[in-house]
Structure 1
Amino acid sequence: MREFPLRGRVAVVTGVSRRAGIAFAVAERLAGLGADVLAQSWEPHDAEQPWGADPLGVIYVIEELRRRLPEGAGRIEHLAADFAEAEAPAAVVDAAVAAFGAVDIVVAAHARSSEQGLGELTAAELDLTYAVNVRGSLLLAQRFDAVRDHSRPGGRIVLFTSGQHYGAMPGELPYAASKGALQQVTASPAGALAAKGVTVNCVNPGPVDTGYADDALREHVARRMPMGRWGRPEDTADLIDWLVSDGSAWMTGQTLVSDGGWGLRI
């Protein structure tokens, strides 16, 4: 008989817009472990990026997610929400409670990408990227704390950073600044929520092939990776699997790196 260690728990996973993305793999993993999952997406962001939105649309993405799950797995509900709007994070958490009666886990895997260097930098893009990546993540944590029944087990929040601390990202200043902020702030909500039995950690997934790289970049990075390949979304899902499990209850306020040794390059 298949075991579902997360049965009875409710997760919010943000950024579930594309089948190739990390958030899709995380949502599939958590639901496959038995959690009920509220998947947030914002398709217009992907549509304006070079890689584009999922060619079949986000509704198909959610249906594909449901189709892949084994019998007895968790349920999937979906909400499209733009984290550029200040009310959106609370609406997403509230949607999980409305759908499933509770919330126990938030995996803030969404991100606004921005390719502005110093010469192209605008205040509007800085403000928007901070609003989506930093404000959105912290307001998710705030609403989670406000509405969660903390007598329930397994309170978990997972934030996402990037590799900005390994080297310069001169063409992605708004993105790098926002991801650096999330890495540095993680200890503060972790300290605020520790007494309530909630852990807060941050994940750096390293270079993950989610369909944004062209062939030249894919080959270049793969040659520089100590393990000779890019990360896969499933590699990140493996770490999230542990971070939301009962076995991670003593881990909080940390940034965990799952990058195949990318940071070991010399």
Structure 2
Amino acid sequence: MPLYPDPAPAALRRDPLPLRGRTALVTGASRRGGIGYAVARRLAAYGASVYLHHHVPHDAAQPWGADPAGPEAVAAGVREALGDPAARVCHGPGDLADSAVPAALMGAAAEALGGRIDILVANHALSGLDGTLDEIDAAVLDAHWAVDTRSVLLLIQAYARQRAAMAEPAPGGRVVMMTSGQDIAGGMPQEIAYGLAKGALASATRSLASGLADLAVTVNTVNPGPVDTDYLTGEDYQRVAERFPAGRWGMPDDPARLIAWLATDEAEWITGQVVDSEGGFRR
């Protein structure tokens, strides 16, 4: 008998609701045009209950603005995708620049979804307030570090403590972080602070994966590449589109499909990886 026998045929058939009974926290899910919203819809479609984090003042200050119908409309869109009628979609605010908020957010999400979070997708980020090496200052560096790096690590810390407190860890522990391809050819010379903060997450991926392995948690980081989240228009938009072999930008559901798969049991052997999901983008 082989040491690792082939799985039974029934185990090879894809479960249409592979996340049934599991819970997820998705941060930065405040706009229906964003990646966080697309990820939440995919997780919900796979059967998970989902808690959506939002920080509307951040989006309201950006050129694209906040979702015109507000967080409840975002949650309603995720509810429409629910694959399991017993699953729930909840939402709540949080300014992750405040070092006390990550742990509080994790607690609120767990309480809302029945006492635990199985899947953490840290999708949020600080947009703007950046520049070249000559343009940035200490305040800019600190702002991006606080939101893009520190808050993610504190969220993962709170998540890990919650897992460690369980009598027996629930199956399907997953952490997915987001990076931005700052280490690929050309880098991000116009966004030094953002690229540095996101690069720290990519650098920490293997360490976090090793540290959380005993809690039955996988940790991976996704670089979604250029995704159309309504931040660029006109000739600049078209120039970027032409650099994709398919002739189009990535859309929010493109990285969302990868992230949702990483959350399933099919991806339980994938951990400590930084995965580029760029559609062949030519830098």
**Matching of residues 144-155 of structure 1 within 5 Å:** 144-148=159-163, 149=166, 151-155=169-173
Partner of 1:74: 87
Offset of 1:244 from its aligned partner? 0.4
Matching residue within 139, 160, 168 for 2:178 = 160
Q: 5+ residue gaps in structure 2? A: 1-14
* Deviations, residues 178-197 of structure 1 (Å, cap 9, x unaligned): 11111111111111011221
**Aligned AA for 1:28?**
R
- Return the alpha-carbon distance in structure 2 between the equivalents of residues 187 and 216 of structure 1: 39
SS class of match (2:148): helix
| CA distance 1:3–1:137, change in 2 (3 Å) | same
1:218 aligns with 2:208: no
- Which residue of the partner structure matches residue 140 of structure 2? 125
Residue in structure 1 matching 2:274, options 241, 244, 255: 255
User: What are the within-5 Å matches in structure 2 for residues 174-189 of structure 1?
Assistant: 174-189=193-208
Pick one of 63, 69, 94 that aligns with 1:50. Answer: 63
Alignment RMSD (CA, Å):
1.6
CA contact (8 A) 1:116 1:171 kept: yes
> Which position in structure 1 is the counterpart of 2:5?
none
Question: Residues of 1 paired with 2:88 and 2:225: CA distance?
Answer: 29
Corresponding residue number in structure 1 for 2:223: 204
The alpha-carbon distance between structure 1 residues 196 and 70, as it changes in their structure 2 partners (threshold 3 A), is closer
Deviations 1:135-194 (A, max 9, x none): 111111100010123521000000000021221322211111111111111111111011
Are 2:99 and 1:86 equivalent residues in the alignment? yes
What residue ranges of structure 1 are gaps of 5+ in the alignment? none
Instruction: Provide, for residues 48-76 of structure 1, a one-character-per-residue CA deviation record: whole Å limited to 9, x for no partner.
Output: 12222112222322233323435626311
CA distance in 1: counterparts of 2:77 and 2:270, whole angstroms: 33
Answer whether contact 2:96 2:102 (CA < 8 A) is retained: yes
1:28 is aligned, of 41, 63, 71, to: 41
Contact 1:38–1:95 (Cα < 8 Å) also in 2: no
Residue identity matched to 1:171: Q
Larger mean Cα displacement after TM superposition, 9-18 or 66-75:
66-75
Which letter does structure 1 place at the counterpart of 2:126?
R
Match of 2:252 among 198, 219, 233: 233
Residue identity in the other structure for 2:120: V
Between 32-41 and 111-120, the greater mean CA deviation after superposition:
111-120
Residues 68 and 3 of structure 1: CA distance in aligned 2, closer, same or farther (over 3 Å): closer
Corresponding residue pairs, total = 263
Q: Counterpart in 2 of 1:193?
A: 212
Query: Is the CA contact (8 Å cut-off) linking 2:160 and 2:215 kept in structure 1?
Result: no
| CA distance in structure 2 between the partners assigned to 1:104 and 1:202 by the alignment | 17
